[in-house]
Chain A
């Protein structure tokens, strides 16, 4: 069985400061992990993915995430927040070898203050 927990429902940062969105997962198999972003009234856009290659994954718009198996975490970071980063972010896990149906976290709303 797989599950994913996004530890913060809301994260508030000032423009230009670092962003950290936390995600923990559980999986009985080798997981594939994804971060998606959802802007208001839009679909989900893939930011980055981990599929058992490099543990530090770089994505679009300056985001990156590090897969830490020992901590079962896949936190999303960005060195400097922009106003345009304000959106809902979803961590998703899919099991390679198990049920491939992806499981979504509940989402973290990123608020960026000027």
Chain B
């Protein structure tokens, strides 16, 4: 069964540095999402992406964050000038057609900011 893949599985970065988290959604999916899960807290929606532009974004997704689909397969989340509170699991997800279908999640990237 096709899977959403995320790399790296664990990223350690110094505070203030930029990080790029990578995702390869399922190939025929059209909607892409990023979520964040701070340790011990609930999963939080960050942003959705369709047709090469942001569809929706949450209050969390401020100017520090950006997303990009640089080619036909990758979907990236860039975090500029990282802060300690950015430490979390970041999950990528995708859906085939419309946004009411269940999302297929990757295994996540654990981001640790030192």
Contact = CB atoms under 8 A, between A and B. Distances in A.
A78 B47 CA distance: 33
B58 interface: yes
Interface size range on B against A: 20 to 34
Contacts of A102: 45, 103
A43 interface: yes
Counting chain B CB atoms within 10 Å of each CB, the highest count among A44, A94, A101 belongs to: A44
B42 A107 contact: yes
B29 to A, nearest CB: 14
Interface string A15-50: 000000000000000001010100001111110010
A90 B108 CA distance: 16
Given A43-B105, A44-B105, A51 B42 contact: no
A96 B56 contact: no
B43 A44 contact: yes
A99 B45 CA distance: 12
Interface of A: 32, 34, 36, 41-46, 49, 51, 90, 94, 96, 99-107
B102 A104 contact: no
A90 B105 contact: no
A43 B107 CA distance: 4
Interface in B10-41: 41
Kindly list the 3 A-B residue pairs having the minimum CB-CB distance in the complex, ordered from nearest: A100-B99, A43-B105, A104-B43
A49 B102 contact: yes
A44 B106 CA distance: 7
A32 B100 contact: yes
A51 B100 contact: yes
B82 interface: no
Contact of A41 (B56, B58, B103, B107): B107
A94 B99 CA distance: 9
Nearest to B104: A46
